[in-house]
Structure 1
């Protein structure tokens, strides 16, 4: 069976043009969501993926209708493939039911993996350079060493509760417990 999936970002948009193109390309059953692609929880997409059987095909007009990023696209297409189904994008002419289509898709995946590795490498280099200049990342400490010592003294004396100490130092209870 060929399943068509259409998505629009806002409620005032319609999937009519996508639906027409999917039906013209042979989609037998349509699923559609009306929400941002950045939203991972897409109920109709999840329903479609749950119904996939070997030999089925998931078709979209453009791959950005299915996924919010290349990594997300790869994850979804892997999920489709794990069900024994194929993926087809009309605009990009990607069809994982053919050897050439699988090759193109895997080239996309390789490029995405390379780019993720480069981003991680540049991030590590930037953090190392910042450390050399004496900069430390992360959130500033809530309590100075002196304040931590005072918190410990107050807790050991038992004169005040954790909540009272937290109010005095204007921090959360968990910060006091960690101190």
Structure 2
């Protein structure tokens, strides 16, 4: 009986993840406006993009691969700015406390890179970039992606086939695509 309940719960969870995600955003598409959290769990920050921005989506703060990937964005922040990027955002389906602590761990002396908590996954779901990460994270999470945005339009999109790897979403690769 327990295995039947477990199997049913897993199937329902998988269905919920698929229903959460819309069609995956494509280059040229409008990036939906959503509010996320940055430094406090009770303060919503609207994600309204103007100018050129880089949005880096990661499966989980403090996870091994994410913690290796994001320092490249912190170290190259001035290079992104020199290429005309207004903001570099790191977005994860984590709470504001976790994202703030992760930022402080990765950049103890500060950084212009903004760490955004999409705690309910609404922004990530609207982009169609959620996946069922239950085996590792216990819940749906963000795929590993980068969007180069021009205003509210997705100019370029890089999505890792395997979210446990960084092959096309590292800072150097993204910098090479900025004119």
Structure-2-length-normalised TM-score: 0.23
Larger relative contact order (CA 8 Å, sep ≥ 6): 2
Per residue, is there more helix in 1 or in 2? 1
Q: Which has the larger radius of gyration?
A: 1
Per residue, is there more strand in 1 or in 2? 2
